[in-house]
Structure 1
Amino acid sequence: MNLDDFSDLIQRPDGGIRRDAEERRERLSVRPGALGRLDELGEWLSAAQGRVPVRPVEQPKVVLFAADHGVATLDVSGRAAGSAHTLVRAVLDGASPVAVLARAQRVPVRVVDAGLDCDPGLLPAEVTRHRVRRGSGRIDIEDALTAEEALAALELGIAIADEEADSGTDLVVLGDLSVGGTTPASTLIAALCGTDASVVTGRGGAGIDDLAWMRKCAAIRDALRRARPVLGDQLALLSTVGGADLAAMTGFLLQASVRRMPVVLDGVVGAACALVAQRSAFRAPDWWLAGQVSGEPAQAKALDRMALEPLLDHGVTVGEGAGALLALPLVRAAAALAAELPEKTADAGGTEDGESAGNTEASEASADTGAATGTGASADAR
């Protein structure tokens, strides 16, 4: 598979529809600009849906790709290596932050095991049946995946995106459930942005101390040496310093853009996959929103490169798609306002900030009187 083929398959959201949405916004009863970024979100959704007025977001879904990373054995994570299955179990049991938030918003959650390092019997078959391999290689000294496994993971993400689009999902909140995942994600971003390990190394979702940060920085530095020779081949890059979950998420993002299905990105792992996908298809980021600031320096660098401005900055670092899910009510609110606010009536045309038609008429009458008596603007002009 050649990832560059996606460049021809992905088109931008309809620019003509967006202009129609902007024109409709000018006619609404609330003055332009009064709703801030919600106006922009509503217009973006209209273009993505290809219709004006925009439809409500009725069938969103949280999709989480799960995997363990061999680099976690270097103690670069706040969690034990090979323990990502416990994160999955917490989501399935409704005991994790993303599960609580999803339940409160009545949004279904789908977990896909791309590369967990555990006995498949520990989790439901519908979660583990897609697994590409058990864990990923230690990227500082070996490839994360074989070329065949990287391709299989990419195809897994494509297949999941097709399943969601075919089932009627109209927006996806994308996240990961991983241990050690921020290390390959930061490596990918450093490689693609041409920067050093120290610039992109953060504390991770679980939080790490200074010694662990130095170990993580060293691992990213060593992985970068292995990544640079394959920078021209996105699939080889994912194979060398990525992982099954990152390759799957990259495939998901690309195919979601092909299927015109908007995606809200969560943290640094999603940002890294988005950056790889952008290298293959430059129009793809037009289908994505950045849900939140995760606090990871690599995420900030990737989003800046893609010109994606996060919707929220609440200091949420837990990962798992939780921060992006917090942004979903904003997106839904933007759609509701764009669809349901009434247009200005003829009597209220040109009014704003609560100015009544009567006040407008009174002002016009005063101006006419001023003109008749030689006062006002015409008198000043003389």
Structure 2
Amino acid sequence: MRKSEIDSMGFEDGRITGFMPRFRSIDDDWERYTDALVELVDRGVVAHEKGRSLYDLYLQDLNEWLTEFYFEEKRFDQIEAHYTPSGEVSFGPISDGHLTVLDRLQAMGEGARVRRIWRSHMGLIKGEFWWYISERNAGFRIAKYYQASEQKQSRDYEKLISRIPTMKQELLAIMADYRKTAEMTGASETELTRIHADIAAIDAEKRPRPKGKPDPRRMDENLFWDLIDEGLTDQPIGERIDTLPERLAAFKATAIRDFEKIQRSLDARAYRWDVWALAYLLQGGCSDDAFEDFRGWLILQGREVFEGAIADPDSFDVTLHSGTASGINGLRDAAPVAYEMRQGKAMKPVKMPLMDVAGTEIAEENFASALPRVAALVGR
């Protein structure tokens, strides 16, 4: 945030006065607000009690406060983007705070947005459930890269799959709530039929096997992108991750394995310093793990966005990013889950060489100068 903006700010009743959202995203305004708060603490304008974090003192209700600005301006696209999971969620129901926002959207006639947010959340937690099921069905196997004894690995495996009964009951309860919301917001018969089918599959702990002969097409990069791009314009990321395994299961086993090889090769193509700089600038920081998540998210944005970012990271459309980015786990799980649906057994791991960050190394403090256009647009 610019010094001139902070100079005009004060502090009263636990809140910065004079702060105005930019309305790029709630996450972006959260970061701007916290940057301003730290600066005001340094200037002595805001008191900071020793032993207590700024979050505990002043930020616990910041998300709700910022969201109110967006509701007042009817910035429904940004609200939807903020409350739609971007690729990873903790297993469990939507939080009470999020449900309050969804109820408000529903009351304002935005039922379609409410269903999209629900579908994204449901798609992601269903994906986690099905991963646990696939691990159980594959049985215990020793992981050579894991520095632990066979006995410990076996105990860890048993502990992991012992969660399945509880997860199943939680998921069925969440799906029942989802069904009620879908019915109240005018979901189509097709959508309701899909919900009923999902509930039946979860209850049986088994996804339906593909019917008919497998699609004979060879999996190449064009077909890979066709599968990734399907639903890109009208489905949330969580829903697309959820349906990807069943769409992929329509192909032969060799094609499913080739899908994973292509996904890994694209991930490696994006493992570059300038793309890391892009992720850092968009997110206000980016660890190694966060960059891995970002690359998965970038692939899930579709071929045009991915190839544009690879060709010139500084040309990236920053409006596509709403503060967080993930999805690599859903991508990596797609082929193994699809293979099991097609073949009825676990897929052997696809071996790929270790990756090194490509391109000329860029120091963190030089990320903004390396991508000046993006840096200027996001205020870095």
Bin for the TM-score computed over the shorter chain: under 0.3
Higher Rg of the two aligned structures: 1
Structure showing greater relative contact order (alpha-carbon pairs closer than 8 Å, 6 or more residues apart): 1
Q: TM-score, normalised by structure 1?
A: 0.26
